């Protein structure tokens, strides 16, 4: 078993430095139009949960329940981004980013979810967009990163088909106000996660554990995804670029060649990587692998839904953190598959318990690019949670730095093989509230001391800055290079 986190004077395991990526490489290799950014999300960073007219969200409610979040933490203050966004954008600009992705909190804009607009909430996003532009950061706005207004949850939330209209109204409000300045729009953040973790596993807001709720939420999110795209298209200038994001994991069978594990891997792929993607393309749900899911979802479908689920996005945001190993399981109906935790596999893993496997990014880019009518792909999140060590004024994080470098190398590898990939966004600009894991796992390029809210650029952030400044980067996979990290 390789233990992670490594001690900082120990060489990092070879998994950080897959030799498959081109080396050395530099920013110029990706092309002049490539977008280089970092991502963030409203609930994870903003705080100000009751400020200036904001309504409550399902995450405000969920984090109030005892025992659902590690150490019962919450993000009422978070990274205090609501008050400190200018400082954070200065730092982002200082790192040399060309793009910054953030989300808007729906209940900040529409406290009741629909109806009356909270002017001060909308003004905040207006100022944020202007502050990005003043710093030459192109804003990428995600409409929904999981903080549904509580008022809508009281009416069933994602399980109520009316959510499609509620979401359309919110999308319209945002597009009307910001469409003159925001060019890049993202509709949903990772539907599989907020639908699955929120409605089937019960580990995210709204904390439901119910197959019917999962199915209803899945179908309504699929409809809202396309409807959001249509509303934006109708509202925005022709130059706007409209996308949405998908979570994904590269999946491999525990026993390659074993028919049960191979079939389980295909079913898991349909559920985890394809469920929300193929309806967008007009292919419907991937029911060939999951017939029972198909019959169950039918209950929520109305005539014409197959067309309503489709939309021609300008790009897809791909968000990948790891690979999963799949085995046949007789215990989990529908999927008949389970994921083997990294901790049981003698592989290095991060503070999230996820296998360190940067090549996963390459494989997922290849998989999505293989759809004949796929749009351009963007890596809208990529990163890893490792501990940081303060050494004087520095925050030393060799594992994150190495991961970032390896991940960027894997994007270039895919691009060189012809994949149309147009951007890379590190998750995340700063440390922030990691949902059910609270503040434990840190993903930021910038460290936050939550006692003082002091920001410090980590070594990984410095690495990104050097790279974005044009420095050539050798893949640091030789023993001497590793020792020097
Ligand atoms: C997600 C979200 C982020 C997470 C990140 C790390 O992918 O789950 O978009 O909000 O913080 O992925 O888990």
- Report the pLDDT value the prediction gives residue 5, as an integer from 0 to 100: 46
**Structure tokens that stand for 232 in this block:** 């934006």
pLDDT digits over 52-102, tens only?
999 999 999 999 999 999 999 999 999 999 999 999 999 999 999 999 999
Q: What is the DSSP letter of 430?
A: B
The atom of ligand 1 lying closest to the CA of 146 is 10
Peptide bond into 11 cis (omega under 30): no
The atom of ligand 1 lying closest to the CA of 385 is 6
The strand pair at 138-144 and 454-457 is best described as unpaired
156 alpha carbon – ligand 1 mean position (Å): 24
- Report the pLDDT value the prediction gives residue 9, as an integer from 0 to 100: 53
The atom of ligand 1 lying closest to the CA of 321 is 12
SS3 content of the chain, % helix, strand, coil (to 5): 40, 20, 40
427 alpha carbon – ligand 1 mean position (Å): 8
- Report the pLDDT value the prediction gives residue 330, as an integer from 0 to 100: 92
Query: Is 9 a member of any domain?
Result: no
Helical axes 191-199 vs 211-235, angle rounded to 10°: 150
CA nearest ligand 1 atom 11, residue:
434
The atom of ligand 1 lying closest to the CA of 44 is 10
Q: How far is CA 421 from CA 301, 418, 473, in A?
A: 33, 9, 20
291 alpha carbon – ligand 1 mean position (Å): 29
- How many structural domains compose the chain? 1
Instruction: Select from 442, 436, 351 the least CA-distant residue to 146.
Output: 436
257 alpha carbon – ligand 1 mean position (Å): 32
**Alpha-carbon distance 129 to 173, whole Å?**
15
Query: Is 435 a member of any domain?
Result: yes
Q: In sequence order, which residues have a C-beta less than 8 Å from that of residue 278 and are 6 or more positions away?
A: 284, 285, 286
**Alpha-carbon distance 263 to 243, whole Å?**
31
Helix (H, G, I), strand (E, B) or coil at 291: helix
CATH of the domain at 106: 3.20.20.80
- Report the pLDDT value the prediction gives residue 82, as an integer from 0 to 100: 98
Cα angle 309, 312, 317 (rounded to 5 degrees) comes to 95
The atom of ligand 1 lying closest to the CA of 443 is 6
Question: Which of the residues in the chain have pLDDT under 70?
Answer: 1-14, 474-485
Element (DSSP H or E) covering residue 108: helix 106-109
Q: Which residues is 324 bridged to in the sheet?
A: 251
229 alpha carbon – ligand 1 mean position (Å): 22
CA nearest ligand 1 atom 6, residue:
434
- Report the pLDDT value the prediction gives residue 428, as an integer from 0 to 100: 98
The atom of ligand 1 lying closest to the CA of 437 is 13
Pocket of ligand 1 (CB under 6 A): 41, 44, 189-190, 193, 247, 319, 381, 427, 434, 443
CA 113, 171, 181, 136 dihedral sign is: positive
Q: Which residues is 246 bridged to in the sheet?
A: 318
**Alpha-carbon distance 152 to 143, whole Å?**
16
CA nearest ligand 1 atom 13, residue:
434
**Alpha-carbon distance 476 to 481, whole Å?**
5
List helix spans (H) across 38-190.
42-45, 58-62, 81-95, 106-109, 119-134, 150-153, 163-178
CA nearest ligand 1 atom 1, residue:
190
pLDDT digits over 110-156, tens only?
999 999 999 999 999 999 999 999 999 999 999 999 999 999 999 99
**Structure tokens that stand for 354 in this block:** 């996820």
- Which of 190, 380, 383 is the best mutation target for the ligand 1 pocket, counting ligand atoms within 8 Å of the beta carbon and taking the most? 190
CA nearest ligand 1 atom 4, residue:
434
Q: Which residues of 439-450 are buried (b: 16+ CB within 10 A; e: fewer)?
A: bebbbbbbbbee
Reported pTM? 0.95
- Which of 319, 382, 432 is the best mutation target for the ligand 1 pocket, counting ligand atoms within 8 Å of the beta carbon and taking the most? 319
- Report the pLDDT value the prediction gives residue 17, as an integer from 0 to 100: 74
**Alpha-carbon distance 350 to 116, whole Å?**
43
- Which of 105, 143, 197, 381 is the best mutation target for the ligand 1 pocket, counting ligand atoms within 8 Å of the beta carbon and taking the most? 381
484 alpha carbon – ligand 1 mean position (Å): 30
Query: Is 174 a member of any domain?
Result: yes
102 is in which domain, residue-wise? 27-484
- Report the pLDDT value the prediction gives residue 3, as an integer from 0 to 100: 42
Catalytic residues: 190, 381
Count CA atoms closer than 13 A to 426's CA, side-chain side: 34
Q: What is the DSSP letter of 348?
A: -
CA nearest ligand 1 atom 10, residue:
41
98 alpha carbon – ligand 1 mean position (Å): 21
């Amino acid at each position: 078993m390789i233990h992670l986190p490594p001690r900082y004077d120990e060489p990092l395991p070879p998994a950080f430095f897959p030799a498959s990526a081109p080396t050395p490489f530099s920013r110029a290799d990706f092309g002049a139009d490539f977008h280089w950014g970092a991502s963030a999300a409203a609930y994870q960073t903003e705080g100000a949960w009751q400020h200036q007219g904001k309504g409550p969200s399902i995450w405000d409610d969920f984090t109030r329940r005892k025992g659902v979040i590690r150490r019962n933490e919450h993000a009422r203050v978070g990274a205090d981004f609501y008050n400190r966004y200018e400082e954070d954008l200065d730092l982002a600009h200082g790192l040399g980013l060309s793009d910054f992705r953030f989300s808007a909190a729906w209940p900040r804009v529409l406290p009741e979810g629909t109806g009356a607009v909270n002017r001060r909430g909308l003004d905040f996003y207006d100022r944020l967009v202007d502050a990005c532009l003043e710093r030459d950061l192109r804003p990428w706005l995600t409409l929904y990163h999981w903080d549904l207004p509580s008022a809508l949850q009281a009416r069933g939330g994602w399980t109520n088909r009316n959510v499609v209209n509620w979401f359309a109204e919110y999308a319209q409000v945002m597009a009307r106000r910001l469409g003159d300045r925001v060019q890049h729009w993202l509709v949903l953040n990772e539907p599989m996660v907020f639908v699955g973790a929120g409605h089937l596993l019960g580990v995210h807001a709204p904390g439901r554990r119910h197959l019917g709720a999962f199915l209803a939420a899945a179908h309504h999110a699929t409809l809202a995804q396309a409807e959001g795209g249509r509303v934006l298209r109708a509202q925005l200038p022709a130059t706007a670029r409209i996308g949405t994001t998908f979570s994904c994991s590269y999946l491999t069978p525990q026993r390659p060649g074993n028919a049960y594990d191979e079939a389980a891997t295909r079913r898991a792929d349909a559920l985890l990587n394809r469920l929300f993607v193929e309806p967008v393309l007009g292919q419907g749900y991937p029911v060939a692998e999951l017939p029972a899911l198909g019959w169950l979802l039918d209950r929520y479908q109305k005539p014409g839904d197959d067309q309503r689920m489709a939309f021609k996005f300008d790009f897809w945001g791909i968000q990948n953190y790891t690979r999963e190993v799949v085995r046949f399981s007789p215990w989990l109906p529908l999927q008949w598959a389970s994921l083997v935790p990294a901790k049981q596999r003698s592989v290095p893993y991060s503070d999230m318990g996820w296998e360190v496997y940067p090549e996963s990014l390459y494989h997922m880019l290849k998989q999505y690019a293989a759809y004949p009518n796929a749009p351009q792909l963007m890596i809208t999140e990529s990163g890893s949670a490792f501990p940081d060590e303060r050494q004087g004024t520095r925050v030393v994080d060799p594992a994150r730095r190495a991961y970032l470098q390896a991940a960027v190398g894997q994007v270039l590898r895919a691009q060189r093989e012809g994949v149309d990939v147009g951007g890379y966004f590190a998750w995340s600009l700063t440390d922030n509230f990691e949902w059910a894991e609270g503040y434990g796992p840190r993903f930021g390029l910038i460290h936050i001391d939550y006692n003082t809210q002091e920001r410090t650029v980590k070594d990984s952030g410095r690495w990104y800055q050097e790279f974005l400044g044009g420095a050539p980067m050798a893949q640091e996979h030789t023993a001497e290079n590793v020792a020097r990290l």
